[in-house]
Amino acid sequence: MAASQAEVAQRAGVSTATVSRALRGLPRVSETTRARIVDAARELGYVASPAASQLATGRTRTVGVVVPFVDRWFFGRVIAGAEAVLREAGFNLLLYSVGDENGRARFFEEMPLRGRVDAVLLLALPLTPGEFERLSELGVPLAAVGLDEQGMGCVRIDDAAGAETAMRHLATLGHRDIAFIGGGTGTPLGFRAPVERRAAYFAVRRCLAVDDDPEFDLDGGFTLNGGQAAMTRLLSARRLPTAVFAASDEMAFGALRAIRRSGLHVPRDISLIGFDDHEMADLLDLTTIAQPVVQQGQAAGRMLITQLTGETTEPEAVVVPTELIIRGTTAPPTTSTTRSPAVTTPHGEQVSNLPAC
């Protein structure tokens, strides 16, 4: 039978309150006394009850993670990064997936996190003022990935800058007939990344003085199957693009499959660039815009830990850089009358005389 706290107190010659404070690492216990209590607990085989510890401290040692979906690559990798950091610090994760607008409304109405978590990590879910107020009422540290929210720590990339880099890479190679596979014109659950990447696509087209073509703007739903379906529609259009910018690698994978099944070759017939640097991107030799997904989760986890430990109370906003990874799915078009003059750097990178956007 396990020893009780009272037995530890008797062995160490102190009160049970002092035992409780010492074993929880709280102040106002001398180091000599604390050492004596720890020795007594070890000798008696005392094991603290997690429930009792939670009741005494008000801490659950749990961080709530609120995600739009659990079956998307991006969210899974962010969670993996955050979980590794938080687990090392002694915290567990409690996952909530809102799924759709009805699930989102129910979550913020019922607020199932109340009393169950010490902090909240929000993933790519922009908040309304009312939703932010509901979360703030929990009185726990808040952090977010993929957002720029006032009043909480945020880690994100510059989606517009990353998309512009993708488009300018294609333009530098000489492409002007560039199609886009993204998330359409809607903003499901308020996601900003699809909107910003699409806006950058059109901004670069205008910069290149290329007229918009509705047939070149397709909704791939940010899934592999959606990317394949969008590319299939594009291949049946009145004219083909020389290049495609897919706003996620998963859509790019689907587009690649559709192009190959049609008998065309990438990049000889159509160049293709994605966004994310998914683990499969290297295997499929996909040119892409890399974002440090796992590292964003780790950074957000560290933000919460510093707030939970009292190291800082000021929320910080961190923008992590993206990077163009050139692989085998992009090349100059086989025929082009509008190719921009380009020079080659000592590293073999092409830099065009494109106007600044």
pLDDT tens digits, residue range 111-169? Answer: 999 999 999 999 999 999 999 999 999 999 999 999 998 889 999 999 999 999 999 99
Phi and psi at residue 182, to the nearest 5°: -140, -140
* CA-based radius of gyration for the chain: 26
Whole-number pLDDT of residue 25: 60
Closest CA to 173 of 356, 338, 323: 338
CA 335 to CA 268: how far, in whole Å? 10
pLDDT for 75 beyond 80: yes
CB neighbour class for 126 (10 Å; exposed up to 12, middle 13-18, buried from 19): middle
Residue 315: Cβ within 10 Å count: 17
Query: Which has the higher per-residue pLDDT, 106 or 313?
Result: 106
Whole-number pLDDT of residue 69: 84
What is the average pLDDT across 230-234?
Answer: 97
pLDDT for 1 beyond 60: no
Judge whether 179 and 214 are in contact, CB under 8 Å. no
CA 143 to CA 308: how far, in whole Å? 12
Q: Looking at residue 348, what DSSP letter applies?
A: S
Whole-number pLDDT of residue 202: 95
pLDDT tens digits, residue range 27-73? Answer: 567 888 888 988 888 888 876 654 444 444 457 899 999 998 888 89
- Residue length, the chain? 357
Taken in order 291, 292, 293, 299, is the CA torsion positive or negative? negative
Judge whether 22 and 37 are in contact, CB under 8 Å. yes
Whole-number pLDDT of residue 186: 61
Give the chain's mean pLDDT.
86
CA 100 to CA 189: how far, in whole Å? 7
pLDDT for 346 beyond 60: no
What is the average pLDDT across 78-101?
Answer: 93
Whole-number pLDDT of residue 355: 58
Q: What percent of the chain has pLDDT over 90?
A: 61
